[in-house]
């Protein structure tokens, strides 16, 4: 049974290796570019910008003359009767004609309308807000892709470590088995070696599943079909140089481009313009209109068409509206006060998040430095223990302890790099750093 499990695991490793070689391998930059082109989040953001642009153009249309044509036909079924007294005698007279036709053009446009002009500024801010929201979507997506990509690298390195542990356990078991058969190893050592192999198998399967799930998460974030076979290029060690550089000073960190703050400030500006727009409702409005019409009347369709035209100016002076405008202004002012308090809280939370990320990065650097020194010693210790065990000067327990120390050091280094670069990606998102295509 044991040999069958070992054979099964070997087949799985071989198949996994073939599949990984057959998959399309992508770099981090390629993953980001695919996500920016395929993600529905980005597509929705771009459509929102386009939609808001149409709304802005619709608002500007109010400045142009509104021209319309009209036509009307009226058939008189029963003529109206008028009664008139002629010399004290009432007389009934039918008035009107059987056919009445009118047709013409009319035009109107605002001349003085402060509220309308202010609403145009609001439309422009709507477009600006939509653009900033789209930028926010791109920044957030890039951060998600980076973290998902790094998670795949971590899962693969964990798999490599556990696979190495399994291979070492299998090699040790084969050596112990040979010794046990010729009476040079005890049954305890034989059973202990076999248990080590059995214990390492679930870790390898679990690590392999973690790689599959991490790749699925990456594909989901990228917005591609989950059935697409992909793999990633690179290793966490490629980013180890970043841990040796000093962290940026707090003074070099700025939230000027933070998308959350920019959106809140745009909303604040929109509220200020809304308050102005409501105040402008107190200002009189002036509009002009023009009409040119033809009218024809007759009992048959052999009628004469008679034109008439008018030009008019319309002045509207607001006097009293039951304090509606005043209450609306106060409502918007309170909304703006609440928004400004939210801006202050957002700034505080951003600074707290920044310090949290920086502390984690500093911790990751210390863990990496310690693990780097430990790894070198753990590797030497394992090599010595292995040689000593081969010549019978070390026990299997000592060899296992050396293997465990080596495994922990390898995983600690990988996790330290992963935590550093994921927190760095989070800080870039806080600062509103945009991805630049390479």
CB atoms within 10 A of CB 234: 16
Q: Does residue 16 have a pLDDT over 80?
A: no
Are 38 and 152 spatial neighbours (Cβ–Cβ below 8 Å)? no
C-alpha to C-alpha distance for 61 and 418, rounded to whole angstroms: 54
Burial of 350 (0-12, 13-18, 19+ CB in 10 A): middle
Query: Per-residue pLDDT averaged across 97-119, rounded?
Result: 91
pLDDT in tens, 370-422: 888 888 888 888 888 878 877 777 776 777 778 778 888 888 889 999 999 99
Q: Are 417 and 234 in contact (CB under 8 A)?
A: no
Beta bridge partners of 106: 68, 291
Higher pLDDT: 63 or 310? It is: 310
Instruction: Work out the mean pLDDT of the chain and round it to a whole number.
Output: 86
Distance, CA of 158 to CA of 19 (rounded, Å): 19
pLDDT of residue 241: 83
Evaluate whether the domain defined by 2-38+113-283+321-431 bears CATH number 3.20.20.70.
no
Range in 47-61, 163-177, 241-255, 363-377 with the lowest mean pLDDT: 241-255
Q: Give CA–CA dist 404/323, Å, rounded.
A: 78
3-state SS of the chain: helix, strand, coil percent to 5?
Answer: 70, 15, 15
> Are 336 and 268 spatial neighbours (Cβ–Cβ below 8 Å)?
yes
Could you tell me what percent of the chain has a pLDDT over 70? 92
Q: Are 192 and 389 in contact (CB under 8 A)?
A: no
pLDDT at 390: 73
Query: Is 216 within 8 Å of 148 (Cβ atoms)?
Result: no
For residue 217, what pLDDT is reported? 94
Domain limits of the chain?
Answer: 2-38+113-283+321-431, 67-111+285-317
Token pair 């509606």 is found at 324
Triad 388, 392, 398: Cα angle to 5° = 60
Task: Output the six-digit token pair for 199.
Answer: 């214990």
The confidence band for 3, taking pLDDT boundaries of 50, 70 and 90, is very low
Residue 7's pLDDT band, with cuts at 50, 70 and 90, is very low
Please check whether residue 306 is in contact with residue 337, taking contact to mean a CB–CB distance below 8 angstroms. Answer: no
Model pLDDT, residue 250: 44
What digits encode the pLDDT tens for the residues 351-372? 999 999 989 998 998 888 888 8
Among candidate residues 234, 265, 32, the one with its CA nearest the CA of residue 140: 32
More confident residue, 258 or 80: 258
């Amino acid at each position: 049974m044991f040999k069958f499990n070992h054979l099964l695991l070997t087949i799985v490793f071989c198949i996994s290796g073939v599949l990984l070689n057959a998959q399309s391998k992508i770099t981090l930059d390629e993953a980001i570019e695919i996500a920016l082109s395929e993600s529905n989040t980005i597509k929705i953001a771009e459509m929102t910008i386009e939609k808001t642009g149409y709304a802005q153009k619709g608002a500007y249309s109010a400045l142009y003359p509104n021209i319309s044509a009209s036509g009307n036909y009226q058939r008189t079924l029963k003529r109206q009767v008028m009664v008139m007294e002629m010399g004290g005698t009432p007389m009934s007279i039918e008035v009107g004609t059987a056919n009445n036709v009118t047709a013409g053009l009319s035009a109107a446009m605002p001349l003085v309308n402060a509220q309308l002009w202010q609403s145009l500024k609001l439309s422009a801010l709507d477009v600006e807000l939509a653009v900033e929201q789209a930028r926010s979507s791109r920044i957030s997506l890039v951060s998600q892709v980076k973290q998902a990509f790094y998670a795949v690298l971590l899962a693969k390195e964990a798999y490599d470590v556990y696979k190495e542990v399994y291979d070492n356990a299998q090699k040790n078991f084969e050596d112990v088995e040979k010794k046990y058969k010729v009476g040079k190893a005890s049954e305890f050592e034989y059973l202990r070696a076999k248990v080590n192999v059995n214990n390492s198998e679930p870790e390898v399967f679990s690590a392999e599943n973690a790689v599959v799930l991490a790749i699925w998460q990456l594909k989901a974030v990228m917005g591609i079909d989950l059935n697409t076979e992909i793999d990633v290029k690179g290793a966490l060690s490629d980013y180890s140089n970043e841990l040796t550089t000093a962290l940026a000073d707090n003074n070099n960190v700025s939230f000027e481009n933070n998308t959350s703050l920019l959106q809140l400030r745009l909303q604040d500006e929109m509220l200020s313009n809304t308050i102005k727009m409501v105040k402008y409702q107190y200002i009189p409005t002036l509009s002009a209109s023009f009409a040119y019409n033809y009218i024809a009347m007759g009992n048959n369709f052999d009628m004469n068409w008679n034109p008439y035209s008018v030009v008019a100016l319309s002045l509207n002076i607001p006097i009293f509206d039951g304090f509606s405008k005043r209450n609306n202004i106060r409502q918007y002012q309170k909304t703006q006060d609440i928004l400004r308090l939210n801006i202050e809280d957002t700034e505080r939370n951003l600074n707290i998040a920044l310090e949290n990320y920086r502390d984690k990065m500093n911790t990751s650097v210390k863990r990496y430095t310690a693990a780097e020194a430990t790894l070198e010693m753990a590797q030497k210790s394992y090599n010595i223990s292995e040689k000593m065990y081969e010549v019978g000067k070390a026990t299997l327990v000592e060899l296992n302890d050396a293997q465990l120390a080596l495994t922990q050091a390898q995983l600690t280094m990988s996790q330290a790099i992963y935590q550093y670069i994921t927190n760095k990606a989070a800080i870039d998102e806080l600062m509103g750093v945009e991805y630049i295509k390479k």
